[in-house]
Amino acid sequence: MDYIVLLDKVSKYYNGFKALDDVSLSIKRGEIYVVLGPNGAGKTTLFNIIAGVLKPSSGFVKVFGVDPSDPKIHHKISYLPSTSILYPWLTSMENIEYYASIYGLEKDVLKERSSELFDYFGINDLKFKLASKLSTGQSKLISIIITLIVKPELIILDEPTTGLDPNMRRKILDLIRKLSIENATVMFATHIVNEAEELMGRVAIMDRGKIIVEGGVEELKKSYAPPSVITIKTFEEYIDKASTILKHYCNDVFTINDELRIHSNDPDMDMPKYILKLSESGVKISSVKIDNPTLEDVFLKLTGRGLRE
């Protein structure tokens, strides 16, 4: 098997705090590997170790068969961290040229690839704008161009769509799928359920430094999610009362902000019963609907809390 990334029982400590806890994973060439988890789950620490930025406290890490800090593989890896990589006193294009020079990209190749990516995102007007004058979303797009312009074999993206509008998010997900078809290996960290589902790669659900489960999207839903989800929205002053009432009738009741998500095997039977019980208790309901389960319901089932908390 052609594994690009291998980790075995990798842990990382910061001043006694265990940020990564015995993480093991293997990623094949051409695979999209999505790490889904809330902020603080350990995604960034994991990616920093795979990119060679951090050393693990214990465990075994190999990328392209060697230690990720080995300089001979650096040209094969491109890493977009969650923090900004742009120099504010340079223009967008100057930042791109600087990073391309580190990889030894020839000027004619740089010109061709940068033009393709600027056209793809529709941001040619940003080429000569100072990085300090870019919005958060614009900075992210320029950083993505920098990450992809060298056409690396392993692309590591830590929350790459933060600050972007839905149209740009869609363009990035489409581009990642295209790169995978072209045999690039992509690691993608996110806390957004829709992104993990739309990429249709292998998903590792991460929480509190551990990968608690991994598999295909439909495989995970089939194994851990309910047939249906009843979503009841109420108002802040009623949410605790509503949750307490519903837990008398169902074990899997989860609260996310002003929303109750109830895992149900028979929603047509359960929903009228739950609405009646809440109404009789004086709980005001703003909306009710029946949904198909998502990866958030898998996370709820396994951890008891939401990705958005």
pLDDT at 204: 97
The CATH architecture annotation of domain 227-292 reads 2-Layer Sandwich (3.30)
The yes-or-no answer to whether 3-221 and 227-292 have a common fold is no
37's CB contacts (< 8 A; 6+ apart) are 43, 189, 191, 205, 206, 207, 299, 307
pLDDT at 308: 65
pLDDT at 191: 93
- Domain boundaries defined on the chain: 3-221, 227-292
What gap in Å lies between CA 79 and CA 174, rounded to an integer? 19
- Please give the average pLDDT of every successive group of 10 residues along the chain, which has 309 residues: 89 92 96 95 96 95 95 93 94 96 92 96 97 95 95 95 92 95 95 93 96 96 94 92 92 88 93 94 93 94 79
**Domain 3-221 class?**
alpha beta
pLDDT at 10: 97
What SS3 class is residue 80?
strand
Please, is 259 exposed, middle or buried when counting C-beta atoms within 10 Å of its C-beta (0-12, 13-18, 19+)? middle
H or E element at residue 164 = none
pLDDT at 200: 87
In the Cβ-directed half-sphere of 71, how many Cα atoms lie within 13 Å? 2
Structure tokens at 42: 């350990």
pTM: 0.93
pLDDT at 91: 97
pLDDT at 309: 52
pLDDT at 117: 97
Q: Where are the alpha helices (DSSP H) in 230-283?
A: 239-246, 267-280
pLDDT at 1: 53
pLDDT at 251: 86
